[in-house]
Structure 1
Amino acid sequence: MEGASVLWLLGLTSLLSGSTSQAPLSLSSSQFFSWTSLTLSCEDDPSGWTLRRTTPRGKEKAPCGDGWGYLAGSSCEISFLVPLDSGVYWCETTEGETRTTINITVTGGPVILQSPVLPVMEGHDVTLSCRTKTTSDLPADFYKDGSFMRTEPTGHMTLQHVARSDEGLYRCNMSGAESPPSWLAVTGQPTTPPPASDPSHLVIRIVCHLVVFCPYCISTFIMVSLYRHRPTVNDLPVSMVMAPPTHAEGGLGDDYDDLITAATTEHHF
C-alpha cells in the first residue's frame, strides 16, 4: 500500500510540473491491466527524441531498451506489462529538454479507470470509463477526491464543459472492485493575439470599391455634362414671316398700298 502511495505521489508531481506544450507523447489512458501490451512513441520528430522512464524502486532514468521494453523502429514496445512497469514516462531531446511527462499505472486488479492522460482544455467534455478486463458496460460508482459523485448504469461518466473545479483525483468501483486513482488535470483556454492586418486585403477592398463605384461616377458626370449643354428656350431662333394680304380679305388692297406709299414718301423742300 505504501509503495502504491509513493507511486501515485510521484506521478501526480510529475503531471503537475511537466511541460505539456508541444507534447510529442500521447496515450488514450494512463491505467492498464497486467499482461497487456503497450506501445509508446515520441511523435513530431521521433529521431530527435528519446523515450525514458523512472520507477519508484530504483529511481532509474533508463531509455527504452535499457532494461525495459524494446525498440521497434521509432516506437518502444512493452509486450507484457507488470505492476513494476508503473511509473513516470517522458520524451527527452539530446540536449536534455523534457516534454510530456505522464504517469502510467499497471494494476493486477480487476478494474481500471480510463481517463485522459494529458490536461483537458476548459469547456471541453470529458468521459471517464470504468471497466473490467472483459467489459465496460456494467454499473459503476464514481468518486472524486474520495467523495462519492454518482452511479452510472453503463460505467461511463461524462463531465460536460469541464472547469478548473473539475480537476482532481478520480476512481471508480465496479462489481465491488475498485480501480487505482487517476488524476484529471484541467487547463485554461489558450489566448491567441488578434491576427495582424494584411495590407493586400486593404488593397483588394479598395479595388473592389473602385470597380463598383466608378461606373456610377462616370454616368453621373456624363448626365451632368449633357444637362449643362442642353439648349434653352431663350436660345431658340425665332423667325417671323409676314404674308401679304390677299384679295379675299376685302377691298383693302389698293388702299393699303397707297397708305404704305404715303407713309414712306420722302418730302423735299
Structure 2
Amino acid sequence: MRCDIQGGGDTDWNYRWYKNSQLFSPFNTKPEYRISPVYRSNSDSYTCEGVKGNKFSKTSEAVKLTVSDQPQPVLSISPQWLNPGDSVTLSCEVDKTSTGWRFSWYRTVPYRAGLPSLSDKSYSLQPLSDNVTSEDSYTLIPAGATPTGGYVCRAGRGDPVYDTLYSQPQFLWSGDLHPSVSLTVNPNTTQHFTSNSLSLICELKGNSTGWRLKRYTETAWPSQCPSTWRSITESTCTITSLDTWSSGVFWCESGSGEYSNAVNITVNDGDVILESPVHPVTEGDSVTLTCTFRYQETNPNPKTDFYKDGVLIKNETTGEMTIPTVSKSDEGFYKFPPGSVVSISLTRLLCGLLVVSPFLLVSIVLMVKCCRARGLCSTVTSPQDQIPCDDVIEQNESSV
C-alpha cells in the first residue's frame, strides 16, 4: 500500500498506518507499506497519514483489503470417454469474477521427486507441451495413442505470478483393451445388485509387471481400498458385498503411468437390472441384453417386450434379446417394461449405466466399436502373470 501526500512532496515525511482506525505502524520513513505474505487476518480497512515535524497531513480515505483463500480451479474434460481419432478439450474454470489468468496444463504420472506433485503425492504432474495458455481451454488434437490418464490445470496472474492451487485431477478413459493388461469383471456385466459380490482382475500379458487396480468415484479421494468390502487373492480384488457407493470407474494402472481399459460399474439397489457386456463389442459380433430380477426364482421366465426407438421389435419369454450381428444400424434406444422402464443406447463410445429414482429408469450405454479386425476387441481369459491388488483411489468428480 502506498501513501501519497498531494502537494506535500515526498521528502521529509514520515508515515503512520492505521488498521480499522487503530494505529499499528506509528513511524515509517517510506511511503509504502508491504504485507508479505498476506493472510486472511490482514483483511480490514486501512488508512494512512503523513507527519513532518509538528505538521500532520489529513488522514487518507480508507482502503478495504479483502484476503480470500487461494482459489482452486475446476477442470473438466470433454469427451471423458475416448473414441479413436477424437479430439479432447480440457477446460479450466477459475472464479468468474476475476480476470487476467494464464493457464497451465499437466498430465498425471506416477510420483517422481523433482516434479510438481499433488498434495498427497499420489501423482506427480508432467507439463503438457506449450502448457501455458491465455485461453481457459486446451485441446488435444488428435488425442494420440496413449492419452488416457489423469489431467490437472492451474492458473496464475500478476508479476510476480500468483498461482492458484492445482485442480483436482480429472481422467480420460478408453474402453479399448490394452496390449499389456486387461481389466476383467466377474460377473461380466456393467450393472450389479447390492449385496452381491464382484471380482475385478488385472490380467497381464507377457512380462508386464507393476499394475495396480484403481477406481474413480463420486466420494472423497484419495483413500485406501477398505478391507471391510474386499478380499484379496493374488491378482483378484473381490468386493464381497456390493453397495451403491461401490459404483465407479475401475481401471488398472502401471508404475510407468500406463492405463488399461476402463470399466464403468453401477450398483443398483432396485429389483431389476439389465445385463450387458463390460468390454467393447466388435462390429459383427453378437450382443445379448438380459433382463434380470433380484428375486429371479419368483419370475424365472419373464415375458419381455423389447422396443427400439418406441417401436416394438421383439416379444421374448426368456427375458433376453440377442442382436446376432452388431452394426451401426443397431444404434438406438431400447426399452422393456416389465413393471419398469429400461432404455438402452447403442453407441460407439462407452459402456455405462445410470439409475434414476423413483421410476427406476435405467440407461445403459453399450460400446459398439466399428473395427473390422475382430481380434482388436478380444478378452483375455487367463492371466499370464499375477499382481497384488493395491491401492484403490476414490476421487471427486462432478459427473462420471
Matched, 1:153 2:317: yes
Bigger helix share: 1
Counterpart CA distance in 2 for 1:117 and 1:89 is 11
Alignment length (residue pairs)? 180
TM-score, structure 2 normalization: 0.40
Judge conservation of contact 1:170–1:181 (CA < 8 Å) in 2.
Answer: no
Q: Which residue of 2 aligns with 1:177?
A: 340
* Kept after mapping to 1: 8 A contact 2:209/2:254: no
SS of 1:165's partner is helix
Shift of 1:77: 1.2
Distance 1:170 1:55, change over 3 A: farther
More strand by share: 2
Which residue does the alignment assign to 2:195?
35
SS at match of 2:302: coil
Cα shift at 1:128 = 0.8
In structure 1, how many angstroms separate the alpha carbons of the residues matched to 2:374 and 2:275?
29
Show the counterpart of 1:138: 302
User: Once superposed, which parts of structure 1, at least 4 consecutive aligned residues long, lie more than 6 Å away?
Assistant: none
Query: Residue by residue, what CA displacement relative to the aligned partner does 1:92-132 show, whole Å, maximum 9, x if unpaired?
Result: 11112111111001000100111111111111111111110
Matched, 1:18 2:18: no
Q: Which residue of 2 aligns with 1:232?
A: none
**Structure 1 position 134, deviation (Å):** 2.9
**Paired residue type of 1:183:** V
Task: Give 1:108's aligned residue.
Answer: 269
Name the residue aligned to 1:48. Answer: 210
* CA distance in structure 2 between the aligned counterparts of 1:63 and 1:144, rounded to whole angstroms: 43
Listed as ranges, the gaps of 5+ residues in structure 2 are: 1-76, 84-172, 343-361, 376-400
Give SS of 1:84's match. helix
- Root-mean-square deviation (Å): 3.1
Q: CA shift at 1:21, angstroms?
A: 2.8
Quote the residue 1:129 is aligned against: 290
8 Å contact 1:52–1:63 — kept in the other structure? no
- Aligned partners of 2:175 and 2:263 also within 8 Å: no
CA shift, 1:173, in A, is 3.2
In structure 2, what is the Cα distance between the partners aligned to 1:49 and 1:156? 36
| 2:239 aligns with one of 42, 66, 78 | 78
Instruction: Identify the residue that residue 117 of structure 1 maps to in structure 2.
Output: 278
Structure 1 counterpart of 2:219? 57
Report the Cα offset of residue 57 of structure 1: 3.2
How far does residue 145 in structure 1 lie from its aligned partner after superposition?
A: 6.6
- CA separation of 1:67/1:166 partners in 2, compared to 1, >3 Å: closer, same or farther? farther
Shift of 1:151: 3.4
- Judged with a 3 Å threshold, the aligned counterparts in structure 2 of structure 1 residues 35 and 68 are, in CA distance, closer, same or farther, namely closer
Residue identity over aligned pairs, in percent, reads 37
Aligned to 1:255: none
The offset of 1:137, in angstroms, is 2.1
Q: For residues 15 and 144 of structure 1, do their structure 2 counterparts lie closer, same or farther at Cα, with a shift above 3 Å needed?
A: farther
Larger Rg: 1
* C-alpha distance in structure 2 between counterparts of 1:41 and 1:151, whole Å: 36
Mapped contact 2:229–2:240 kept (Cα < 8 A): no
Cα 1:13/1:165, change in 2 over 3 Å: farther
**Structure 1 CA distance, aligned partners of 2:210 and 2:333?**
34
Q: Could you say if the C-alpha distance between residues 47 and 37 of structure 1 is closer, same or farther in structure 2, counting changes exceeding 3 Å?
A: farther
